[in-house]
Structure 1
Amino acid sequence: MTLRERQKQQTRLGLLEQAKALFVERGYAAVTIDDIVSAVGCSRATFYLHFSGKPEILQKIGAETMARRAVAVYADLDAVLETGSRAELTGWMRRAVAWFEENQAILPAWDEAVALEPDFKAIAKRAVDELPAAMPRYLARWGEARREEAHLRIELLVSQLERFFTRWAVQGTIEAGADTAAEVLGDIWFPALMPPGQR
């Protein structure tokens, strides 16, 4: 890698890190591109060499700087569901809750962007669509005729986990230990995720 390429990579990483820090501190709407470039010490033109705007940089924060991509969490679920074990699913629920905890600080900015940015809704939809796509063995067990239903079940699981986590960790309106929550969520979702004939 040339010195110029290394500098470009460092600038990109700096923009991602500073944008993430600002979004966490102030929220998505309150942060401007000028705030981000000022924190990095570069120009708006440099920002636009790397990103098309705030929606794209937030998307890249999710893809490049979060502890683990959500897709990896659901690829793990694909393997877990193949075992047919309720205990394994409960273990996965614990890992999913841990993922939310690791990434808790940036998730409100994501929700804010979905509410405020028409362009970001498409980004968020693609991110959700990637999750069932990371589960090919699960989808295959449902068969082509019930593929849409299988997709919907995963999307509903994602929605419930997101809402649970918001109420549990962000708002503090659900009081339960992480292990208890994982056990209950596992009990709810174990039969719901099993294809007909395997319940």
Structure 2
Amino acid sequence: MSRLGVVECWRYIVGEGPTLRERQKLRTRRELLDCAKALFVERGYAAVKIDDIVSAAGCSRATFYLHFSGKPEILQKIGAETMARRAVTMYADLDPVLASGSRAEFAGWMRRAVEWFEANQEILPAWDEAVALEPEFQAIARRAVSELPAAMPRYLERWGPDRDHEARLRIELLVSQLERFFVRWAVQGTIDSSADEAAEVLSDIWFTALLPPEHRR
């Protein structure tokens, strides 16, 4: 570790706060994230250029590249703050719901899943657009989805190691159907349904589908 690194570590150990320069760096990063999110929501992913983001944030392209490697990374960080972390929590919550064997609890989880999509609906179109346009972002989105079944150890255990791939695929298909439902329902307006009605029908489809055959009644 460099001498500067040792000094920085010691400063945090003894409880000193960040320097003025570090606080300014954090403020700039925050401003870039906030401006990028607002622009992605307003215009979509493809229409926003890095110059648009730095202009809105009042900084330079060089400053942008001190914090982010490009548009895919800044959208990834926005997703990590608003979408991905909460998505993992939501699927971790699904694990005990499935273990309970209660369809009523599963329907309650499904309603919360729909609420999660409603809470994140502004940024979801930009996320989908980036997945379609950016090979780099496809890998990011793939990793984000693969984290979800990993947050469900009891679910995976019930399926067993020989059917681990199928168990994970079922969660990925659940995620895909929920995403497509939400786009058609809330974004495009091509599905006429209340949130509760949709959650009930989706529960009919998925409650049994997520159970191994030997656990089905």
CA contact (8 A) 2:50 2:71 kept: yes
Tell me: CA distance 1:165–1:19, structure 2 relative to 1, closer, same or farther (3 Å).
Answer: same
C-alpha deviation, 1:3, in angstroms:
1.8
CA distance in 2, matches of 1:153, 1:116: 26
Distance 2:28 2:153 in 1: 37
Which consecutive unaligned segments of at least 5 residues does structure 1 have? none
Which residue number in structure 1 is paired with residue 215 of structure 2?
Answer: 198
Alignment of structure 1 residues 110-149 onto 2, 5 Å: 110-149=127-166
- Structure 1 residue 65 displacement after superposition: 3.4
Partner of 2:3: none
Identity of aligned residues (%): 80
Residue in structure 1 matching 2:54, options 30, 34, 37: 37
Amino acid at match of 1:12: R
Match of 1:12 in 2: 29
CA RMSD of aligned residues (A): 1.2
**Residues 113-165 of structure 1: per-residue CA shift (max 9 Å, x gap):** 11111111111111111111111111111110000000010011001000000
Structure showing greater Rg: 2
Name the aligned partner's letter for residue 97 of structure 1. V
Tell me how far apart the structure 2 counterparts of residues 17 and 176 of structure 1 sit (CA, whole Å). 33
Instruction: Verify: 1:108 aligned to 2:125, yes or no.
Output: yes
Q: Do 2:107 and 2:203's aligned partners in 1 also have CA atoms closer than 8 Å? A: yes
Matched residue, 1:27? 44
**Size of the alignment, in residue pairs?**
199
State how far apart, in whole Å, the 1-side matches of 2:57 and 2:96 are: 41
| TM-score normalised by length of structure 2 | 0.89
Q: Classify 1:67/1:159 alpha carbon distance in 2 versus 1 (closer, same or farther; 3 Å).
A: closer
Contact 2:35 2:56 in 1 (8 A): yes
Q: 1:76 aligns with which of 79, 84, 93?
A: 93
- In structure 2, stretches of 5+ residues that fail to align are 1-17
Aligned partner of residue 215 in structure 2, secondary structure: coil
* Equivalent residues of 2:40, 2:123 under 8 A apart: yes
Decide whether the 8 Å contact of 2:99 with 2:155 is kept in 1: yes
TM-score w.r.t. the length of structure 1 is 0.97
Structure 2 counterpart SS, 1:69: helix
Counterpart in the other structure of 1:182 = 199
Q: Which residue of structure 1 lines up, in the alignment, with residue 80 of structure 2? A: 63
Secondary structure of residue in 2 paired with 1:149: helix
